Structure 1
Amino acid sequence: MGPSQVLSLPLEWKGGGFGELTGLVVTSRVRLARNVARFPFSVAISPEEAEKLVELAFEAASRSPLFREAVKLRLDRMDEISRGVLFERHQISFDMMRASPQMPRGLILDGSGTVSVMVNEEDHLRIQVLLGGFRLREALDIAFKVDEVFEALGYAFDDEFGHLTSCPTNVGTGLRASVMLHLPAMQSSGVMDELLKHCNQLGLTVRGTYGEGSAVFGALYQLSNQVTLGRKEEEIAELVSRVTREVAEEEIARRDRTRRERGKAFLDHLWRAWGTLRYAQVITSKEALEKLSVVRVGSDMRILPEIPMNMWNELVLLTQPYHIQAMAGRELSPEERDVHRASFLRSKMELLS
């Protein structure tokens, strides 16, 4: 499957979600780490064993109604741009994108673009459910159903410790529940270190846009649990949800305060960002995300023209480096990407003006 075909695959979260905290919570994600007892952990598995594991996972998915319209991909046989597009869509990890082609690795995507199952990542199976908006409990319920599909493979499970994983921090439930939050006001106020400290005290953490070890782009932060042992899955999801609401309230309050205190300067900041996206001839992915973050705030506060969440998500996604190249149909230099990105944004922003 090539880049253009990957671009055409459905992606649930791009639709924007609905309901509570729309515009502040971009996505809700639940990830389960699972290993199959009869195989060595991924750090010690042989290519032959990894190949067999991919086959077994694909067969298990084929037998389930949940994956009736699934797409099964061999990441070790895909080109870099195609893997990069999947990474930017948050359907595979950075490690899977950069993994050696000598090691068999698979990916299973359901027909709605909600579920992705990575095979031979850090753990044998990484089951992920990704939904648009603030829908963490819904994502957890879906993840439980997907988990049952692969349980027949025979999970590595200990009666005392729970699910056994390659990394000790995932032992127990193997659950990582997270939300992607848009927090530009908190970021500009310099309170993110304070938030991180507060979250750490609760067994939570705040990470970059693409998860652990990644930078923050466009004020998009991942809030997730750190502790997987000694808590039930529902308790973890509820804790993340509660803190998400608290953080969202703080973000809204800081936006209002900034508007009151900065006045015309704040309005100028919003409209300059709009103008850059509307008229720039060259723009980097970093600047594009920064300006898209600003106009999201302006739209949420009803100062700038409305940008529906589905369109904003699309702009954020399609201006990323691998998506720009996939749309162009070829590999581009950084300078070429910046020109293509600006042209794309001008055409989209014109529709909103």
Structure 2
Amino acid sequence: MREFYYKYLKWIGEGNLHKDIILSTRIRLARNVREFPFPNQASEPQRKRFINKVEWVFKNDTKFNKDYDFLRLEKLPKLVSEVLIEKHLISEDQFNNLSGTGLIVRKDGKLSIRLNEEDHFRIQVLSGGLEINESWKMLQSLENHISEYFDFAFDNSMGYLTSCITNLGCGLRISLLVHLPGLTFTGKIKTLFRRLRSSKVLIRGFYGENTKAIAGFYQIASKSSLGCSEEELIKKMEEIALKIVNEEIKARELLFEERRRWVEDIFGRAWGIINYAKYLESLEAISLLSNIRFGIFYKIINLPIKLLDLLLILTLPAHLQVKLGREMDSEERDRVRADLLHDVFKNYKID
């Protein structure tokens, strides 16, 4: 179980484009197979028959069984499934209905396929920074490989058929995990979000759908794929991403120019708490890491952003428990989290 602590996180920090503002790009395709009922309409034997066929393909295809892992979620320890949720590799829906569900994931975690979630296949690419075009090419390649074995459900007027109407058409969804402390601290975030909503994108919290924003972290996601091509959606989301980056940079520069001491205080308080706190709750740790990340932009400290982005995941509740190989109550997790962050940051000094 402990091996899942660092597993599937090698993709973090790989991208270089705007990674100080865009933590990650996630794009995915929803696909269903003609010969099987959609997962939410299928009986348990039908769901298991589908995943058995996928497993047979996996075991007999050298591309998959060499570079990927095949996981049947119902056979995994509960903590491991929770870790996979924290890594954004499976969803709460899969976790709440494990029967006949699975995950195919490349060993670096960058490419993955959710099986029998809302759709038969949710093919996903995770990338660091802004990497929509590069991710799309990888997604296409993986989809084409799967289509050699499965006939996807398609209608000439509606496109690819999916369980949710918003995924009809090309079935593509693009989301960006962004860090916007500058816009948040200056109060300009509401103006930006009004403009984004008029562009028909979804604004979500740190953990995605139905969650609130934490410490300036937001998910910006495309709303619907019906009526537009993959190329149109990619172009639209790239334009939106660059607008967000430009607005955030302006806000950060304005803050440093007009309130430099306040900015340094935000960082200094976070640095002090992380280095001396004996207990840290999960949400508090995210907020502190956000402020440290903010300080890196201003070169207050020379610290790899990749390290901060890894810690945002490695300090989450399930990860801490997997690290120690056992369940812990919240108080013990808070202690372990504080010790972990202290051990990491004691090796760095403020410039």
TM-score by length of 2: 0.94
Matched, 1:171 2:168: yes
> What residue is the counterpart of 1:220 in the other structure?
217
> What amino acid does structure 2 have at the position aligned with 1:181?
V
Matched, 1:53 2:50: yes
Q: Is the 8 A contact 2:11 2:108 kept in 1?
A: no
Offset at 1:348? Answer: 0.2
Pairing 1:1-353 to 2, within 5 Å after superposition: 2=1, 4-14=2-12, 16-62=13-59, 63=61, 65=63, 68-97=66-95, 99-101=96-98, 103-151=99-147, 152-303=149-300, 305-353=301-349
Q: Is the 8 A contact 2:110 2:125 kept in 1?
A: yes
Offset at 1:198? Answer: 1.6
RMSD across aligned C-alpha pairs, in angstroms?
1.6
> What amino acid does structure 1 have at the position aligned with 2:44?
P
For residues 190 and 52 of structure 1, the distance between their equivalents in structure 2, rounded to whole angstroms, comes to 53
Q: Is the 8 A contact 2:28 2:122 kept in 1?
A: yes
Offset at 1:222? Answer: 1.3
> What amino acid does structure 2 have at the position aligned with 1:189?
T
Moved more, 305-314 or 278-287: 305-314
Percent of pairs identical after alignment? 32
> What amino acid does structure 1 have at the position aligned with 2:118?
E
User: 3-state DSSP class of the match of 2:127?
Assistant: strand
Offset at 1:93? Answer: 1.5
Q: How big is each residue's C-alpha offset from its partner over 1:302-327, in whole Å with a ceiling of 9 and x where there is no partner?
A: 12x12212211121111111111111
Moved more, 33-42 or 60-69: 60-69
TM-score by length of 1: 0.94
The runs of 5 or more residues in structure 1 that have no matched partner are: none
> What amino acid does structure 2 have at the position aligned with 1:77?
K
What is the total number of aligned residue pairs between the two structures? 347
For residues 202 and 189 of structure 2, the distance between their equivalents in structure 1, rounded to whole angstroms, comes to 11
Offset at 1:234? Answer: 1.8
For residues 134 and 254 of structure 2, the distance between their equivalents in structure 1, rounded to whole angstroms, comes to 33
> What amino acid does structure 1 have at the position aligned with 2:341?
L
The runs of 5 or more residues in structure 2 that have no matched partner are: none
Q: Is the 8 A contact 1:30 1:139 kept in 2?
A: yes
Q: How big is each residue's C-alpha offset from its partner over 1:172-195, in whole Å with a ceiling of 9 and x where there is no partner?
A: 011001111111122233333333
